[in-house]
Amino acid sequence: MYGWRGRIGLLVPSINTTMETEFWRIAPRGVSVHSARIAGGRHGTPEELRNMENASKHAASEVAMIEPDVVVYGCTSGSFFEGPEWNEKICAQLTEITKAPTVTTAGAMAACLQAGGHRKVDVVTPYVELTNDRLKAFLKRHDIEVGKLGTFDMLDMFDHAKILPEEIYSKVKETITPDSEAVFVACTQLRALEVLDLLERDLGKPVYSAVQASAWQAYQAMGIDPGIDDCGSLLRKLSGRK
């Protein structure tokens, strides 16, 4: 059977075209990725993001059939929008349905920043103002201050995938401030994974992405070292390297 080391149940918004590709790109031998789609979410409105909570239950019931070792709720804004308690509620609901530990992207964002000891970070997102404000509030609840936030300010979440990696690189360079301890690139629809190493080398500080953080926490939950050495220092730490 494929996935003899571990099976990841990946729940992504129906419009997401990035996260599955990046999860498969970094999956090591013996690990398989099995996706189910969460209906809605294209326009990232508060109503759509809230509705994704219920839609995720149906997606979870489908992915539960492959008996996953971990479930990943792969939407950053969909897991932080109503705060930490809402995020915890999503985890509990999906774990009950799938009988597997659940990782959310928002939870992974907070966890990786806390693990790095970061208390002040810069953030890059594709989101509109309301969603950006909710992200800041979510991190503040985890004692993490957002120093500067750079945004592409795009409401249509399908279009987030059209932002090129070099554009993400430039936006991070424009956003970075001297006193920030790290940078987080939010949204699992952004193709940030392929420029993380370049950014870390050029900026001299940790740079994280939504997909990277989700994978990091998923592999931790499975107790698997994926041996990933080209997607930023966070994933290299799973192998005991910086």
pLDDT tens for residues 71-118? Answer: 999 988 888 888 999 999 999 999 999 999 999 999 999 999 999 999
Query: Is residue 42 domain-shared with residue 134, that is, in the same domain?
Result: no
Task: Tell me which amino acid residue 92 is.
Answer: A
Residues 101 and 114 in one domain: no
Give residue 45's pLDDT band: very low, low, confident or very high (50, 70, 90): confident
Residue 1 domain flag:
no
Number of structural domains in the chain: 2
Q: In this structure, is residue 22 part of a structural domain?
A: yes
User: 100 with 38, same domain?
Assistant: yes
Which pLDDT does position 242 carry in this prediction? 66
Indicate if 13 and 90 belong to the same structural domain. Answer: yes
Whether 235 is in a domain gets the answer no
pLDDT in tens, 140-197: 999 999 999 999 999 888 899 999 999 999 999 999 999 999 999 999 999 999 999 9
- Same domain, yes or no: 25 and 116: no
Q: Sorting pLDDT into bands at 50, 70 and 90, what band is 44?
A: low
List the CATH number of the domain containing 40: 3.40.50.12500
The yes-or-no verdict on residue 47 having pLDDT over 90 is no
Q: Domain check: are 45 and 113 in the same one?
A: no
For residue 42, pLDDT over 80 is answered with no
Across 212-228, average pLDDT: 97
Count of CB atoms situated within 10 Å of the CB of 166: 12
Residue 152 to residue 80: CA distance in whole angstroms = 19
41: pLDDT confidence band, cut at 50, 70 and 90?
low
Separation between Cα atoms, residue 60 and residue 122, nearest integer Å: 33
DSSP character string of 135-179:
HHHHHHHTT-EEEEEEE-----TTGGGGS-HHHHHHHHHHH--TT
Q: Domain check: are 120 and 142 in the same one?
A: yes
Looking at residue 46, what is its pLDDT? 76
Residue 54 confidence (pLDDT):
83
Residue 170 lies in a domain: yes
Residue 230: count of CB within 10 angstroms of its CB: 12
Q: Look up the domain containing 194 and give its range.
A: 108-208
Domain membership flag for residue 19: yes
Judge if 173 and 55 occupy the same domain.
Answer: no
Task: Evaluate whether residue 241 is within a structural domain.
Answer: no
Q: Let me know whether 101 and 145 are in one domain.
A: no
What is the distance between the alpha carbons of residues 26 and 33, in angstroms, rounded to a whole number? 10
Query: 153 and 91: one domain?
Result: no
Give the model's pLDDT for residue 119.
97
Mean pLDDT score of the chain, rounded to an integer? 94
Q: Do 143 and 201 fall within a single domain?
A: yes
For residue 239, the model assigns a pLDDT of 87
Q: Rounded to whole angstroms, how far apart are CA atoms 183 and 36? A: 29
Query: Percent of the chain at pLDDT above 70?
Result: 98
Residues 142 and 190 in one domain: yes
Whether residue 49 is predicted with pLDDT greater than 90 in this model: the reply is no
pTM higher than 0.75, yes or no? Answer: yes
In angstroms, the CA 140 to CA 129 distance is 16
237 domain-assigned: no
Instruction: Note whether residue 198 is domain-resident.
Output: yes
Whether the per-residue pLDDT at 50 is higher than 80: the answer is no
